Structure 1
């Protein structure tokens, strides 16, 4: 059996009309097409999940971080879907052949790395903060640039160093750094 190849104009016309042209060189992508998903802030402390990459008419199931189905909707032209009025959470959107993860929305204020130097027992101080990735190795350097200690962050990117003198410190990781101002005495 002889195979026919469509001209570029015919493929463009098919794609524009909603049909998908078959590209034999991209079989893996056809078997598991990519989908994307976003979480955005809406009115009254609600959020919306939207995305694309699903087939028009395909049912898209949106689940929360606990795996509970919160809504089912249908993808429209371009494979777009949207669900509104949800709480802030990490969601997954799953169709028949594709799944996408919608990470929890984080405000610029929440995303910023923060730290403080606070008075501890006796003449010691502590340096603590949050905002680095979880399980990230962070290094504490004093105002002279000398390494004082290292630790790993825990939930919410929290880190803490105790028993240090009052100083201005820099906390660094592979990807970010923050300056912690000396505590007022």
Structure 2
């Protein structure tokens, strides 16, 4: 098993190490202190089945029908190793990578995307004159643009919730398209 990330990754590594003979905990940085609680660092250091690899990034995942191994690279020396791993868990989503969207949709102070009533509070009023309505539940401050999952301000930050939001967005996008479609001539 391999786990990538910070505080949540450390909790996952401890959980997985209860059953797995070996867990690789991979961290991009040079220490665990900036992203993990002290008590977790101490528990990980004492755990015989967890191997911590600092300055490490995953470059490739290999396997036919499942994960079999991964290529890990030291981000200082660029040396690469192949790690046997039957699974890869990634916990790196605490900070949204939404800076590239800042000119298109409103972001909250932490970089997450407000939707629905929250988007209405930050949206440019003139954008909402043609639809003559407030943003739909998962709609951003830009009509017809939706956000779901971890990137959405106020989301639950769970895969099942993101999947559910994605399914809801299909219906919401359909509603938006219906209101923008020109009337059919009879």
Which structure would you say has the larger Rg? 1
Shared fold per TM-score greater than 0.5 = no
TM-score (structure 2 length as normaliser): 0.27
More helix by share: 2
TM-score (structure 1 length as normaliser): 0.27
